[in-house]
Structure 1
Amino acid sequence: MHPQGANGLIRVEVLGPVRAWNGEVELDLGAPRQRAVLAVLASRVGRPVARGELIDGLWGEQAPVSAEGSVHTYVAGLRRALEPDRTHRAPAKVLANAGSGYVLRLADGQLDLVAFEQHLRRTRLAATSDDVDTALRNVEAAVNLWRGTPLSGIPGPFSEFERTRLTEMYLTALEQRAELMLRTGRDAEVVAELSRIVHEHPLREQLRGLLMTALYRSGRQAEALEVYGETRRHLAEELGVEPGPELRGLHERILTNEAALSGTSTPRPTERVTTRRVVPAQLPHDMGGFTGREAELVQLEQFLAGDDNVVRIAAIDGSGGIGKTALAVHFAHRIAERFPDGQLYVNLRGFDPQQPPLVPGDALGQLLRGLGVDAQQVSTDPDEQAGMFRSMVAGKKMLVLLDNAASTDQVRSLLPGSASCVVLVTSRNRLGGLVARDGAHRITLGVLSEAESVSLLEHSIGAQRVAAEPAAVSALVARCGHLPLALRIVASNLADRRHLTVDDLVESLSIEQDRLDVLSAPDDESTAVRGVFSWSYHACKPEATRTFRLLGLHPGPDISTAAAAALTGRPVPVIRRVLDGLAGGHLIEEVGRDRYRLHDLVRVYAAERAEDEETEAERRAAVYRLVQWYLHTAHLADRLLMPQRRPVPLEQPVQHCLPQRLENYEQALAWLVAERMNLVAICLHAHESGDHDTAWRLASVLHGFFQLRSHWEDWAVTHRAGLASARAVNKPGAVTVLLTSLGGAYWHHCQYDEALRCYEEALRLSREIGDRQCTATALNDLGAAYADTDRAEEALEHFRQSLEIFAELGDRGCEGMAMYNMAKTHQGLGQFDTALGHLCESLDLVRQTGDRRCEAAGLTEFAAIHHVIGRLDEARAQAVHALEIFNELGDRHGAARVLRTLGAVQRDSGEPEAARQSWTRALEVFDELGAPQAEEISALLAELG
């Protein structure tokens, strides 16, 4: 059924100005860009066109932020014009939704472009069968559909490209008609027709050859020779070349009055075989100094040696600037001699900044011409082109390199059918369909290793220059993110400017915001890092581009799907699909389940886009949602990890950033481990940006985790920032809490004086503000510090005071912790019975509150005392029990401490090998944490021999 309007059949014309009719009534198609939307849809009639393709076709790289909304508006306007009587809820019949885009539904007779192509197809079929009359009738029908410059007045990259393509088809049709007219003796008509056209297209030799033939047959030899002379002058002036061999041959035949030119057979100047024997060698030049990628080259060799019963396809994907084309071309040159029938190359322009992606029909035309098929013999029907291509390469050993593909659909019709052929495809997208349906072997490129990066520089600027500044070279390749394109740009700068040192270039790259300016190639914008990233960015749909640029505001090294949902204010299922799409286009990298990362240089580009395309209010709102999500989720994790700790007061979470759901200790610890570096970055960012309430609260809720996992540096840096923020907003209660916590971080760093100053200030301030809980905590912490510095009497006095306050407050857990510290102090004095008594009391108290970490610490001290007094079996049992708890909790430092005691018990029980194993495990942890106990354990292992 043909789509109809109220007055009759819908008709659309694009072979001239874009126009449409409903029956006999011409429709108002609106503004030029709205007509441009119809033109793009008409070029793909019956097939879906994604919104992103429409945006690219209308604006290219200059698409505004409002582009997607504008497309919606234009489509709505076209629907009103094409189907004015359609109700809002009724499905569209002419211009319908199709997935993430639209489809124009017109039958064959409703679009002049379709009719034009059908007439040309029938012309070729009839000419092949020597049915000249039918061929001539169809080509004349095709030419008569032309109404001037196609898509005239339509703006945008698509219309420019399509005008060129359609004009070429029109001229080819005129040439076919002239040939057929000459075959039927209509020489005078050809002269009249072509005399005007050759002046409009003076460099088209085929048209001039036909005009020369027609003039000669009409008895106008001198004029025919004058056309040749004029042609020769034009070609020399415009292109600096001579006429081609066919036109020169025709000139000679006219000069000699060849009799065959006077007949009504097919004229000799256009007589061509369908193909000529050609062995294409179209590979671009191999990149000089190609280095690295050894593992990938091995994979490609293995792929080449695979199943030779099917077409072998290798799909090389990766982000912009990662070196996909360089690898593919280098490998293609390495294996070229294995393909004696030739090597074909097509740049599919999937992410070209200047031109739209190559449509399969045009790509097939290039491949066929590369095989020697004359341009006029190439069908305009993509299916016919694909069939001809497969036929021509069948049984031949050919290598086909399809570079810069945008999608699987762009590639699939270009695949040979013969197992003797090999195909290499490069793309910034994953081309999952090519892998799943066509059996392609995927190779995903990452950045270069440091050694490969340095090697690349050596090939470009010389090994001597690299060796002269090894530290600067290492810093340089790191600043370039080991991205091949960035490395080649800096290498070019160094090679061109001999006075420039590597250290100079490192310094110029030190400011992250300016890094992309430095990594530009002034003589070739297509190789500038920023430009390469922009091609991928503008190929994305609007929601993906918004998500991408907001990711540039995230201060941490990676991001989870849930965090990205908070950042963007979108639901998790929606943002998961968006992130998968960005990862598929290699703008971001998937580093784990629901976890993504941006390359350092891509992050800089994303931040630039956010700065340019988001308002300050939008950026602040996005970051605020993100930090609140981290704060509230970290708070929830802290409550599950250490419920006995005093909770940090929080306001209600803002909309769209509810904390991640965590249900137990294991989930809380796993989340904190995964997000540790992000949490540190968020805390520091909040402090630096003036969000002081978030900074001090986040530092406070992270204290327990950092202590548990012995992340002392993170503990110190976040608490210094949090403390400064608490002071900035005059929160004395928060200041005291953070001072005592920061003191613990300093103590673990062996910065004893700084720790004591923190404890003493916390004690003084807590007494000033009357915070009894903080006073007792500061007394306990100060007492532990005194005990460790041989000030036992002062320590015990502070413990007694803290115990009184904790008992008064009813804080059984903290009372048990103070009792534990008192027991340790008595142990240090050799008062083992007193120490054991306090430990028993401490264990009773912490078990009542469920504080398993304090319980394990108490068992460790029990084991140590029993070891000293010779009760080795009890010591072993207590140490093993403590180790089990520490391992369950994920407390590595606690586990290492109890392993030190267990090893001593095992040594003194006559089990030196067991002792060695325990101390070796302890040493691994202490070494990793940079703990001072590592030296003691090393000495113990040395004593074992």
Structure 2
Amino acid sequence: MDETEAITTTGAAEGLGVDVLGPVTGRRGSLELDLGEPRQQAVLCILAINAGQPVTRDRLIDGVWGERPPKTAEQSVYTYVSRLRRALDPDRDPRRPSRPLVSVPGGYSLRLAPEQVDALVFERCLDLARKSHAKDSYETALHSLNRASELWRGTCLGGIPGPFAEFERHRLNELRLTSLELHADLLLLLRRPQEAAALLAPLTCEHPLRERLRELHMVALYRCGRQVEALKVYQEIRHLLAEEFGIQPHESLRRCHELILRADPLLDLPSATLPALPERVPPLREPSHSRHRAAARGKVAHQLPRDPTDFVGRAEELVRLRTLLSPWDGRPPRHVVAITGTPGSGKSTLALRAAHLVRDRFPDGQLYVNLRGATPGMRRLEPIEVISRFLRDLGMSPRDIPADLDEAAALWRGELDGRQILVVLDDAADLAQIRPLLSVPMGNTILTTSRESFTLLDDCVRMPISRMRRAESSTMLARLIGEERVAEDVQATARLIDLCGGLPLAVGIAGARLANRPRWGVVDLVNRLEDERGRLRELAAGDLAVRSSLAVSHDMLAGSDHHLDRTAARALRALGVLQTADVTAPVVGALLDVPADTAERAMERLVDAHLLEEDEPGRYRPHDLIRLFAGEQVAREETETDRDAMLDRALSFYVGTTRLAVKLARYPRAESADVDLGAGPLPLGSYQEAHEWLNREQANLLSAAFQAMSAPRERTSRLGVALVFALFWHLHHAGLPARLLTISRRTLAAGQRLEDHRLEAGAHSLVGLALNMVGRLEEALHHFRQHLILCRRLSERHGEQKALGNLAMNYLELGCYEKCIGCAEKQREVADAIGHRSGEHYALTMIGSGYHGLHRFEQALAMLDEALFKCRRDGNLYQETAVHERLGGVHLDLGDAAAARASFEAGLDCARAAQVVVAEPYLLLGLARSLLLLGETEQAVTHLGRSIASARATGNDEVERKASAERAAIGAVREKPSTSPGRMMAL
């Protein structure tokens, strides 16, 4: 199953769907629903496009009537919602709440999964196509777009009134045009221009002023051999734009027209994206006289170092550089081109290769200087030194060169006037070092390389580069050590490139070391690099070293006169303290003990210096080798006390924010871990924000907890334990048993090492719960008993009732029902005594479940009904989920399939609202069994499949086995009609 198909496998309200990409329709299975009048349909559309999310009544009123709603608008919304509930769920018992359309505080929510609304499926398909396109998976992207286009049935939200419908109609139509443009581009990439031309012809008629469509159509027609028609397409839009708006076509469209006129080979490249034109057309020059003029005024300098002809990779960058430095149509080259990137990314080599490729374009000479902006141990050149050197190289007497920088810069500009010279300024430290050289006359070009981003430089084309692709790195390595050695162990070669992080400098050093050691295999160097403590030491050959290359960038920031640069250097070092995949500004603020906005500016400075990568806004990640360097630097520059304080502040931030998030997310009360926090939490404000933060930071929180609990300092270890305690229920609800077991055992070890019985007691509870999740019930029993013993010894009543509840749950699963009831009754007594309502809810659930196990069904139902009432009264959504699941099981055993179905469906609603992923496999399995007894076999099979998928995702082997067995039994029944449903359930 591919990604596009996978998005249609789960649903919230079974069989229900809403389609808006055409006339609005609702369907339940194959039955089309009567959705009522247009405004009622408008309400449904708002809820459907926000499927699964709460929508306030005010938002519905604004979306249907706009700024001036009638006085009866609110009452009309009530009426529309009531009618929609009847339409969407016609078989609902009026005494029970609606399942698909539920009330939430201040409004309503339509419980549909994204795959049940065609507009949301369309957007998901488009997103998948974009991601596949970015990964060069063109066939996969095209498949996603074909699926997206099949969903459109006409004008979206046809006939629906109101501001919301108008806005969505425009937004979805724009997305549709975007998808069609991407579709055409993919066809061109796949060398299918005939299909692209057929797709685009009617679209350009329908949207005559959309320039991107015209450009794609022109390229498609040209590649079909229809050059005249392609040119006609351009003439049409040129006349339209001139007549209607008095403007010329966009630069990219003009570029395409010029290329077609010249039948340029660039048009035969697979992509429809072509190199950019210069921004303006210069006056014609006189190249035939330039050499004579230069000879008359001075020398023609050719200073480029040797051409790196064995250069590997960067094909796209080279094509773009050639276009910028030597435009195809004879126009002047760009004024300033800056190649920027991470230390060791190969900026200088790329610049030299590009300069040699275009040297014929600059007949008056090529000047070159290494500015030594990042050369270890060497003073960087001053601007006056560079200008003076260049003027001498152009034939000027040293006596005539002014000592004043401004006068020398003016003379430099005058000397270049009328010439065509390429000036390569390699390894610029910063903008200040090269600014006096940049204002050269038209026809001359400055090509510079730097670790800085030069974001403030006007009239500059910036080309940032980072790591090479793996294939390019592999080719580079093969050039250095021979193809045979690379091919001997493909896995080792891939690992070596990963350890080098795709940095050309690191790959080159690794290749040089292997070349000098012919007896080594690639795996031998890999084994040495696997040790992080020595990796930077190993990546050195002769005077080349990754460490020294990075040190220059760090030292320039640390020694700067600007406070922000020094803060950025300290932030880079601080990243060596915390072992997480990435960081955010608030975390760095805690590390440095500065406000988050100061930390953010420092991190952005490191991004500008190409020492950090920003994969998504606000999340910063260092290259692996930079991370190792940061660890070395912080150990060298900061005292152990300062490093410990940094780490503890970051951990305090994580603990405080996690505690706030789990409180807002309404998780059960966490185990107690008293520890003073040295940093305030992130100010989260809502349930949704809390879940989003926990999901985004989950991997970092686990990494930080592992790091902290392994630390020798007691306070740091305690912070790590506190972080696990705070995070536990989020991980439990997410269904991550293996991860839970690993980190819970580490927590127990930390508590025992600290000789803190409170921490040890809490950790026993976590280990027991994790073992219970993976079905190791006898082992879990031991840890729950230890938890109970320690809590009673410490007179910790809350922990005592929790331990009793966990014992009850474990005895239930072991089939020891009398012991389950006994422990649960004791839990209820303790919970009542301390006023802990959640403990009482849990105890009632366990008592009812124990009676169920003993087949005392009336008592079971009585206890579970009481538990359900109290959960709803107290807003305990998590425990309500469990009660519904248990009630469903009792109803199944009583043969009341309809009641069982209602319980399991209600449980699923609760589980999804509370994001209790771990409960879904059980509820889906129970729902499937109910449907099977009701004779709805197809739906039962669907839910068994969903139960299996959910069980796999949460590591629940037991439910996966049961659901798989029942699905197999249904398959056997289909082959042998005589098999009874009862027999299937027994299997």
Letter in 2 for 1:473: T
Select 1:661's aligned residue among 683, 686, 692.
683
Q: CA deviation at 1:497?
A: 0.6
1:124-169 deviation per Cα after TM superposition (whole angstroms, max 9, x unaligned)? xxxxxxxxxxxxxxxxxxxxxxxxxxxxxxxxxxxxxxxxxxxxxx
Q: Could you say what secondary structure the match of 2:540 adopts?
A: coil
Q: CA deviation at 1:740?
A: 1.4
The change in CA–CA distance for 1:853 and 1:499 in structure 2 (over 3 A counts) is same
Q: CA deviation at 1:320?
A: 0.7
Q: Match of 1:727?
A: 752
1:165-314 alignment runs, 5 A limit: 275-276=297-298, 278=300, 280=302, 282-286=304-308, 288=310, 290-291=312-313, 293-297=314-318, 300=321, 308=331, 311=334, 313-314=336-337
The change in CA–CA distance for 1:479 and 1:665 in structure 2 (over 3 A counts) is same
1:37-48 alignment runs, 5 A limit: none
The change in CA–CA distance for 1:483 and 1:719 in structure 2 (over 3 A counts) is same
Q: Match of 2:719?
A: 694
CA distance in 2, matches of 1:904, 1:417: 80
Q: Match of 2:343?
A: 320
Q: Could you say what secondary structure the match of 1:660 adopts?
A: coil
Letter in 2 for 1:445: I
Letter in 1 for 2:684: L
1:505-557 deviation per Cα after TM superposition (whole angstroms, max 9, x unaligned)? 22322332222111112x21xx2111001110111133333332222111222
Q: Could you say what secondary structure the match of 2:437 adopts?
A: coil
Q: Match of 2:552?
A: 535
The change in CA–CA distance for 1:802 and 1:373 in structure 2 (over 3 A counts) is same
CA distance in 2, matches of 1:302, 1:906: 65
The change in CA–CA distance for 1:792 and 1:877 in structure 2 (over 3 A counts) is closer
Which is worse superposed, 293-302 or 837-846?
293-302
Q: Match of 1:852?
A: 877
CA distance in 2, matches of 1:457, 1:430: 29
Which is worse superposed, 590-599 or 561-570?
590-599
Q: Match of 1:97?
A: none
CA distance in 2, matches of 1:302, 1:784: 70
CA distance in 2, matches of 1:643, 1:884: 17
CA distance in 2, matches of 1:754, 1:502: 45
1:353-373 deviation per Cα after TM superposition (whole angstroms, max 9, x unaligned)? 233333334334455556566
The change in CA–CA distance for 1:810 and 1:466 in structure 2 (over 3 A counts) is same
Q: Could you say what secondary structure the match of 1:403 adopts?
A: strand
CA distance in 1, matches of 2:636, 2:548: 15
The change in CA–CA distance for 1:284 and 1:745 in structure 2 (over 3 A counts) is farther
The change in CA–CA distance for 1:556 and 1:813 in structure 2 (over 3 A counts) is same
1:804-883 alignment runs, 5 A limit: 804-824=829-849, 834-863=859-888, 878-883=903-908
Q: CA deviation at 1:869?
A: 6.2
Q: CA deviation at 1:351?
A: 1.9
CA distance in 2, matches of 1:318, 1:543: 21
The change in CA–CA distance for 1:846 and 1:606 in structure 2 (over 3 A counts) is same
Select 1:515's aligned residue among 535, 544, 547.
535
1:718-745 deviation per Cα after TM superposition (whole angstroms, max 9, x unaligned)? 3222212222233223322211111112
Q: CA deviation at 1:813?
A: 0.9
The change in CA–CA distance for 1:394 and 1:812 in structure 2 (over 3 A counts) is same
CA distance in 2, matches of 1:673, 1:575: 23
Letter in 2 for 1:628: S
Asked if 1 retains the 8 angstrom alpha-carbon contact of 2:373 and 2:428, the reply is yes
Q: Could you say what secondary structure the match of 2:694 adopts?
A: helix
Letter in 2 for 1:432: T
Q: CA deviation at 1:489?
A: 1.2
**Residue 468 of structure 2 corresponds to residue 443 of structure 1:** no
The change in CA–CA distance for 1:349 and 1:927 in structure 2 (over 3 A counts) is farther
Q: Match of 2:654?
A: 630
The change in CA–CA distance for 1:409 and 1:467 in structure 2 (over 3 A counts) is same
CA distance in 1, matches of 2:333, 2:965: 64
CA distance in 1, matches of 2:323, 2:937: 51
The change in CA–CA distance for 1:378 and 1:876 in structure 2 (over 3 A counts) is farther
Asked if 1 retains the 8 angstrom alpha-carbon contact of 2:670 and 2:728, the reply is no
Number of aligned residue pairs: 665
Q: Match of 2:699?
A: 677
Letter in 1 for 2:429: A
Asked if 1 retains the 8 angstrom alpha-carbon contact of 2:591 and 2:649, the reply is yes
Q: Could you say what secondary structure the match of 1:350 adopts?
A: coil
1:794-830 deviation per Cα after TM superposition (whole angstroms, max 9, x unaligned)? 4344333333433343322122123334444555666
1:490-509 alignment runs, 5 A limit: 490-509=510-529
Q: Match of 2:580?
A: 556
**Aligned-pair Cα RMSD in Å:** 3.7
1:87-236 alignment runs, 5 A limit: none
Letter in 2 for 1:740: S
Q: Match of 2:219?
A: none
Q: Match of 1:124?
A: none
1:818-860 deviation per Cα after TM superposition (whole angstroms, max 9, x unaligned)? 3334444555666665544333222222223322122233334
Q: Could you say what secondary structure the match of 2:345 adopts?
A: coil
CA distance in 2, matches of 1:713, 1:577: 39
Asked if 2 retains the 8 angstrom alpha-carbon contact of 1:591 and 1:597, the reply is yes
Asked if 2 retains the 8 angstrom alpha-carbon contact of 1:283 and 1:333, the reply is no
Select 1:401's aligned residue among 424, 429, 447.
424
Letter in 2 for 1:771: E
**Residue 375 of structure 2 corresponds to residue 352 of structure 1:** yes
The change in CA–CA distance for 1:555 and 1:273 in structure 2 (over 3 A counts) is closer
Letter in 1 for 2:583: I
Asked if 1 retains the 8 angstrom alpha-carbon contact of 2:764 and 2:786, the reply is yes
Ranges in structure 1 where 5+ consecutive residues have no aligned partner: 1-271
Letter in 2 for 1:716: L
The change in CA–CA distance for 1:606 and 1:359 in structure 2 (over 3 A counts) is same
Letter in 2 for 1:530: R
Q: Could you say what secondary structure the match of 1:443 adopts?
A: strand
The change in CA–CA distance for 1:278 and 1:618 in structure 2 (over 3 A counts) is same
Letter in 2 for 1:730: E
Asked if 1 retains the 8 angstrom alpha-carbon contact of 2:582 and 2:619, the reply is yes
With the length of structure 2 as denominator, give the TM-score of the two structures. 0.61
1:60-89 deviation per Cα after TM superposition (whole angstroms, max 9, x unaligned)? xxxxxxxxxxxxxxxxxxxxxxxxxxxxxx
Ranges in structure 2 where 5+ consecutive residues have no aligned partner: 1-293, 561-565, 975-987
Give me the identity figure in percent. Answer: 30
With the length of structure 1 as denominator, give the TM-score of the two structures. 0.63
Letter in 2 for 1:347: N
Select 2:450's aligned residue among 414, 427, 440.
427
Asked if 2 retains the 8 angstrom alpha-carbon contact of 1:899 and 1:922, the reply is yes
Q: CA deviation at 1:785?
A: 2.6
The change in CA–CA distance for 1:922 and 1:432 in structure 2 (over 3 A counts) is farther
Asked if 2 retains the 8 angstrom alpha-carbon contact of 1:817 and 1:846, the reply is no
Q: Could you say what secondary structure the match of 1:432 adopts?
A: coil
Which is worse superposed, 606-615 or 866-875?
866-875
CA distance in 2, matches of 1:419, 1:331: 20
Q: CA deviation at 1:900?
A: 4.6
CA distance in 2, matches of 1:910, 1:451: 56
CA distance in 2, matches of 1:306, 1:761: 79
Q: CA deviation at 1:617?
A: 2.4
Q: Match of 2:804?
A: 779
1:396-417 deviation per Cα after TM superposition (whole angstroms, max 9, x unaligned)? 6654433222233444443465
Which is worse superposed, 835-844 or 925-934?
925-934
Q: Could you say what secondary structure the match of 2:697 adopts?
A: helix
**Residue 643 of structure 2 corresponds to residue 619 of structure 1:** yes
Asked if 2 retains the 8 angstrom alpha-carbon contact of 1:314 and 1:425, the reply is yes
Letter in 2 for 1:565: G
Which is worse superposed, 546-555 or 362-371?
362-371
